[in-house]
Amino acid sequence: MGKTPEAFIFDLDGVITDTAEYHFLAWKALANELGIDFDRDFNEKLKGVSRMDSLDLILEHGGKREHFTPEDKEKFAAQKNNHYKELIKNITPNDVLPGIKTFIEEIKKNGFKIGLASASKNAFAVVDSLGLTESFDTIVDSAKISKGKPDPEIFLTAAKQLGVKPEQCIGIEDAASGVDAINSAGMFSVGVGDHEILSHANLVFSSTSELQLKTILKAFNENASISEPIEA
């Protein structure tokens, strides 16, 4: 791990804004239509997972994974997404999670680059509705990658577009699969949420309002001084 970080790469859902409720409502509507029980507990398993992989998990949960053709699945995924897009039309700048605007401003003021790595194909629309498009130096969504989280591709792509080495990046995620992706990319991982679920992150905050640049940089540097002799 290098001693000086150069970039922060954010997840979108659950870190910048919380569109989880909209995803839940859209998936629940589709599941109900297919005769599959779908509740909030199962919805947690879909956090950070791509749309098609989420659909496969839901169909498997309902014992119907083999009942449909790839064409059927594409149709279902599009149906869910169209419903979701209708729901997110209600998003405004007021839906940015607590503390995030101030945190991003502090990061930019200190000269760090900022990227977004989101599994959502609607990332650009959501960021625009939040009024944060100009805050990011690059945005990578699932349309630009072939492998979803926990594969590190999306974070590595963001680092490449920012012109920064992975080990000089700090990734911020709220999902276990996202933290896996950050760690696999060789980046310093910051989790936001449940400490037990995100225990494999280098550093965990309970909520976005607690994110502190000073604390993160200190932890990054401490991690660097520990890991460098091991790598040598």
Give me the pLDDT at residue 120, please.
83
The listed range with the strongest mean pLDDT (44-58, 183-197, 218-232) is: 183-197
8 pLDDT more than 50: yes
More confident residue, 35 or 46: 35
Cis (ω within 30 of 0) for the bond into 150?
yes
Give percent of the chain with pLDDT exceeding 70: 95
Residues across the chain? 232
**Annotated catalytic residue within 11, 137, 141, 174:** 11
Give me the pLDDT at residue 225, please.
64
**Tens digits of residue pLDDT in 92-146:** 999 999 999 999 999 999 999 999 999 888 899 999 999 999 999 999 998 888 8
232 pLDDT more than 90: no
Helix (H, G, I), strand (E, B) or coil at 120: coil
Q: Look up 13 and say whether it is catalytic.
A: yes
Helix (H, G, I), strand (E, B) or coil at 30: helix
**Annotated catalytic residue within 13, 141, 174, 180:** 13
Nearest alpha carbon to residue 123 among 108, 107, 105, 142: 142
227 pLDDT more than 80: no
